[in-house]
Amino acid sequence: MSTLTPVAETDEDTNYVCGCLQITEHQLLSTLATKNIWTIRDIRKTIGAGDGCTACHHVLKRYLNVHHRIEREELAEPAFRPSTHTRS
């Protein structure tokens, strides 16, 4: 089983994405933003979500899909966009 990493949260952070291990959406989003996470196995190894009964795997897959889509969109955007306006 994975070692859980505590994340600073407020009292309002009770939106669990993994009820068995009480992993919140905040913890998951923080992990996706700061780590190289590509699979549910990566999530399980990093914060433990999905390591219990596995009922949350469908939810974790949705978060991964959105995260990967956003990353692909960011990679597809050019770093520099030249101005279309010209000076006379």
Q: Which residues face 24 on adjacent strands?
A: 16
Instruction: Dump pLDDT digits (tens) for 19-74.
Output: 999 999 999 999 999 888 999 999 999 999 999 999 999 999 999 999 989 888 88
Is residue 9, in this structure, part of any structural domain at all? no
Residue 35: predicted pLDDT? 85
Angle between helices 57-76 and 25-34 (to 10 degrees): 40
Instruction: Specify the pTM.
Output: 0.69
What CA dihedral angle connects 23, 29, 31 and 36, to 10 degrees? 130
Residue 24: predicted pLDDT? 95
Domain at 65, CATH number: 1.10.10.1100
Residue 3: predicted pLDDT? 38
Is residue 5, in this structure, part of any structural domain at all? no
Is residue 68, in this structure, part of any structural domain at all? yes
**Number of structural domains, the chain?**
1
Which residues constitute the domain of residue 25? 16-76
pLDDT at residue 1 greater than cutoff 70: no
Is residue 42, in this structure, part of any structural domain at all? yes
